[in-house]
Amino acid sequence: MSHVSSYSAHGQSPLRTVQVLGGGSAGSGVHVRSLAAGLVARGVRVTVCAPSAAERAYGFGDVGALHLAVPRRSDPGSVAALRVACADADLVHAHGLHAALRASLALHGRPTPLVVTWHTRSHAEGARAHLQRILERRVARAASVVLGTSSDLVDRARARGARDARLAAVSFPPRRGEPVDDDAERARHKTRAELGAVDRPLLMSVGSLERHRGYGILLDAAHAWLDLDPAPLLVIAGEGPERAALQRRIEAEGLSVRLVGRRDDIAELLPAADVALLPSSWESRSLLAQEALYARVPLVATSVGGIPELVGDAAELVPYGDAPALARAVERLLSDPGHRARLVDRGSAQAASWPTEDATVAQVLSVYDELTGAF
């Protein structure tokens, strides 16, 4: 536990923090809930300013935080609401660039310290990419401290002018405990039957259907798997703007691929897979990668962003955009049970090395103490 077990135990007024969340990625929402729970347990007052949908999804109030509904917009009304919410805060912590921009506007003219966590980066192109760089510079320079969830994000923040940027590898707990063997096998068989993969391998990828996720390359690789006997089924869970184009390709090319849409049962789906796939052009601390290793599912991922430092030697890493290499890595895993078992064991060891929720909260709280002069 943190060196600060409780603020009230030291006879002080509780530290008052505001967490600003734009509603962005699942990873940032899970992190804010975990952080809020840990801070509240240590006697810190936590207000989470986030859209109502984020409260419904993550239940910040359930862990003792106060939730204030603030839309994910930068219009004067939303900024004014955020300014009121931050009026008596000792420190504000924003998660994501857009949340950080709104927080910096709300704190303009005030000495309140601003901590910003960069969970990911933009995949914008052209003129939007230029605007994104301007936003990154503004946020980096406004923050007292920038916490990057991977080393390349820390480097990016420094390049954008952050006066203090540090690595803060956030923890994501497994979605559920490990079931007993008989229950696990029954659940696995049931899920595979529902997906249509009883007598053939099941490959699974999870994430929004956007170009940077690399699903087009995954479909290129799926051509090679049609020659396997039996041919594996690739299931992709997620929604997004690329869905229609991907579905057209699947049908036109006769690929053994199913798009199953956004699912809230990934904790049941993923353990049923023979291999998990992460073909993205960039990731920080991928939630799918962490859940695959926790669930003891072999992972094939692109060697990009924070993935190598996250998984170490516990996954098959391939270059982004190299469909033949991705296809070969999957084929090797499917044909070599011994290699699969070794990779799974390395995955469990790697997952055990990641920071715990308690360690993550302790690191963040030490930053808060430093900025507020708590001691």
At 182, the pLDDT band (50, 70, 90 cuts) reads low
Residue 3 is assigned to a structural domain of this protein = no
> For position 59, which CATH number holds?
3.40.50.2000
At 181, the pLDDT band (50, 70, 90 cuts) reads low
The reply to whether 229 and 327 lie within a common domain is yes
Residue 176 is assigned to a structural domain of this protein = no
Rounded CA separation 250/232 (Å): 14
What order of strands is seen across the sheet that includes strand 299-302?
Answer: 257-261, 233-237, 202-206, 275-278, 299-302, 316-318
The reply to whether 212 and 313 lie within a common domain is yes
Residue 303 is assigned to a structural domain of this protein = yes
In this model, does residue 248 exceed pLDDT 90? yes
Tokens 């929604």 sit on residue: 239
Q: What is the domain extent for residue 366? A: 8-171+356-372
Residue 1 is assigned to a structural domain of this protein = no
Residue 334 is assigned to a structural domain of this protein = yes
- Above pLDDT 90, what percent of the chain? 80
The reply to whether 158 and 187 lie within a common domain is no
The reply to whether 123 and 241 lie within a common domain is no
pLDDT reported for residue 10 = 46
Residue 161 is assigned to a structural domain of this protein = yes
pLDDT tens by residue, 100-141: 999 999 999 999 999 999 998 877 778 888 898 999 999 999
The reply to whether 24 and 161 lie within a common domain is yes
The reply to whether 283 and 313 lie within a common domain is yes
| Distances, alpha carbon 244 to alpha carbons 214, 240, 247, 250, 357, in Å | 15, 9, 5, 10, 38
The reply to whether 137 and 254 lie within a common domain is no
pLDDT tens by residue, 204-220: 999 999 999 999 999 99
Nearest C-alpha neighbor of 299 from the set 251, 255, 262, 347 = 347
The reply to whether 345 and 238 lie within a common domain is yes
pLDDT tens by residue, 360-375: 999 999 999 999 986 4
What order of strands is seen across the sheet that includes strand 165-167?
Answer: 66-69, 45-50, 16-21, 91-95, 114-118, 145-148, 165-167
pLDDT tens by residue, 262-318: 998 998 899 999 999 999 999 988 989 999 999 999 999 999 999 999 999 999 999
The reply to whether 204 and 138 lie within a common domain is no
pLDDT reported for residue 127 = 86
pLDDT reported for residue 345 = 97
pLDDT reported for residue 355 = 92
- Tally the domains of the chain: 2
Residue 2 is assigned to a structural domain of this protein = no
The reply to whether 85 and 217 lie within a common domain is no
Higher-pLDDT residue of 14 and 2 is: 14
The reply to whether 227 and 341 lie within a common domain is yes
Residue 115 is assigned to a structural domain of this protein = yes
The reply to whether 189 and 332 lie within a common domain is yes
